[in-house]
Amino acid sequence: MKTIGLLGGMSWESTLQYYRLLNQGVQKALGGLHSARIVLHSVDFGPIETLMRNDEWDAIGDILGDAAAGLEKAGADFFLLCTNTMHVLAADILTRVDIPMLHIADATGDVLQREGVNTAGLLGTAFTMEQEFYRQRLAERYGMDVIVPQQGDREIINRVIFDELCCGRMVGNSKQEYIRIMKWLADQGAEAVILGCTEIGLLVQQEDIKVRLFDTTPLHAARAVEMALEQVDCRSDTK
């Protein structure tokens, strides 16, 4: 079994889900008392979130690059960046290591393609929804048309992620607002909605809405289990 590196803490709420899903996946595959071989580096998200707001992405890249190098030194055979947004820095992080990274958009795109989804709505942080790094990868590698919410709704989604979900709390009508936005995406032609932030699955589940949901956290974890057990030749990033 390969050792999985987890670069987490962004936020720890979703990193907790990764740890659980990876171990459950390995136990299901191998049975008995088997569990995943994992090396975890969990960063302090507070300073990183401040750097994000100040648009200091080079500084974030240095922090995450050093963390990824630490995972490699600790024996990880490959690693996962346990957040969608920080994949904007994937290329920078990979200059610090010689092990591959399993890209979260690839783990998601492979499943969407296999399920015959051609047009998908995307929910995530403002950075994920508005910048091209995520949408462009899905378009170029998987032929996916990606629809994002309108400006005001993007602000709602982003606020709920940072003010509520990353803090482990849900208040007011946040869930209803997310469901409303998902219905709007479906009305615009989305055949499915990508939960493109690793915390959104804590708020909304498939039973809450008719449009198909693809939660990136379990999809990423499931592909990592396959890669760790060498059950699939996973598409992954290298230097």
**Which residues are annotated as catalytic?**
83, 197
181, 164, 158, 103: which is closest to 136 by C-alpha?
Answer: 103
How is the chain classified by DSSP, letter by letter? Answer: -PPEEEEE-TTHHHHHHHHHHHHHHHHHHH-TT----EEEEE--HHHHHHHHHTT-HHHHHHHHHHHHHHHHHTT-SEEEES-SGGGGGHHHHHTT-SS-B--HHHHHHHHHHHTT--EEEEE--HHHHHSHHHHHHHHHHH--EEE---HHHHHHHHHHHHHTGGGT---TTHHHHHHHHHHHHHHTT-SEEEE-STTGGGT--GGG-SSEEEEHHHHHHHHHHHHHTT-S----B--
- Cα angle: 76, vertex 236, 93; to 5 degrees: 65
d(CA 107, CA 4): 15
